Structure 1
Amino acid sequence: MLRHIWLLTHSEDNLWVQWSKAEVLIGRNLWTSPSNGNLAWTWRNILILRHTALNDLTFEVGDGTNFSLWFDPWMQNQSVHARYGNRAIYDSRLSKNAKLMEVIQEGAWR
């Protein structure tokens, strides 16, 4: 299960990853998707193990074009949303879909 999480975070060209993002996550972020609802056993367990994976994964932001400002765990293995909640998004007046590099380039991150 942890290998699947690694693939979802590191392998954009993998066919299973592409299918998972299009059919299961459906535009949501892996780190914030709910682990309840009408999910297969495998997917429910992948989502339950996310926090375990965070202890063993290290993230490299790189150029920041693929990192979600709000939902990817780029701040000490925690997302801005997990740390500060929806109010931070609302108060910033930035898009929920904002990418880290977009915000830095626009100078909106102060």
Structure 2
Amino acid sequence: MDVPHHCPWSISKILKARPTALIHLTFTVGRSSSFSMWLDPWLGGRTLLDLFGFEIISLAESTSFALVRESLMNDSWNIAPSNHTSVMELRNLLNYTEISSSDRILWDNLSIIKTSDIWNSLRSRKPQVAWFHLIWHKVKVPKAAFLLWWSLPFY
């Protein structure tokens, strides 16, 4: 979905961060997968609609709300027998997609994730400046620390 023009700032920031987040996500397709076949980015971080366009849904004799598990039969891919170039390319891509026992979405291949892991992988770290401990210490007055920090030049 596109970012709505008049949505709250926080929602807008989250929606705009999707491409950055997709770089860190790894999807594993399970036998009874609940991923959307066409709308979820389970194939290399891209949706099948992004890769092939809307016509692939009818060419593959599917619906736009189909789940991945509907295209699986006996742990292998079962796509419509079409000779259209897009469907053949789709079949080729799917043949290289491993089917696991269950769906999994991993952040930087970590099975247990904390919010701090996500924050640290998204932000750019800069070296701590020499005056950091002069301003941000245990007995600081928050307003004074903020104003002093704000007035110092950044390097």
TM-score scaled by structure 2?
Answer: 0.44
Which runs of no fewer than 5 residues in structure 2 stay unpaired? 81-155
Within 5 Å, which residues of 2 pair with 1:1-110? 33-105=1-73, 108-110=78-80
CA shift for structure 1 position 85: 1.1
Larger radius of gyration: 2
Change in CA separation of 1:37 and 1:64 when aligned onto 2, cut-off 3 Å: farther
Cα offsets for 1:86-108 (capped at 9, x unmatched)? 11113223110100011213975
CA shift for structure 1 position 60: 1.7
SS of match in other structure, 1:54: helix
SS of match in other structure, 1:74: coil
Cα offsets for 1:14-66 (capped at 9, x unmatched)? xxxxxxxxxxxxxxxxxxx2212332211111111111011111112223431
Change in CA separation of 1:54 and 1:64 when aligned onto 2, cut-off 3 Å: farther
Which runs of no fewer than 5 residues in structure 1 stay unpaired? 1-32
The runs of at least 4 aligned residues of structure 1 exceeding 6 Å deviation read none
Tell which deviates more after alignment, 61-70 or 79-88: 61-70
* Distance (Å, rounded) in 1 between the aligned partners of 2:34 and 2:6: 28
The total of aligned residue pairs comes to: 78
* Distance (Å, rounded) in 1 between the aligned partners of 2:62 and 2:5: 29
* Distance (Å, rounded) in 1 between the aligned partners of 2:36 and 2:43: 11
More helix, by proportion: 1
Higher RCO (Cα < 8 Å, 6 or more apart): 2
More strand, by proportion: 2
- Equivalent pairs: percent with the same residue? 28
* Distance (Å, rounded) in 2 between the aligned partners of 1:41 and 1:71: 25
* Distance (Å, rounded) in 2 between the aligned partners of 1:50 and 1:70: 17
The Cα RMSD (Å) is 2.1
* Distance (Å, rounded) in 2 between the aligned partners of 1:58 and 1:48: 19
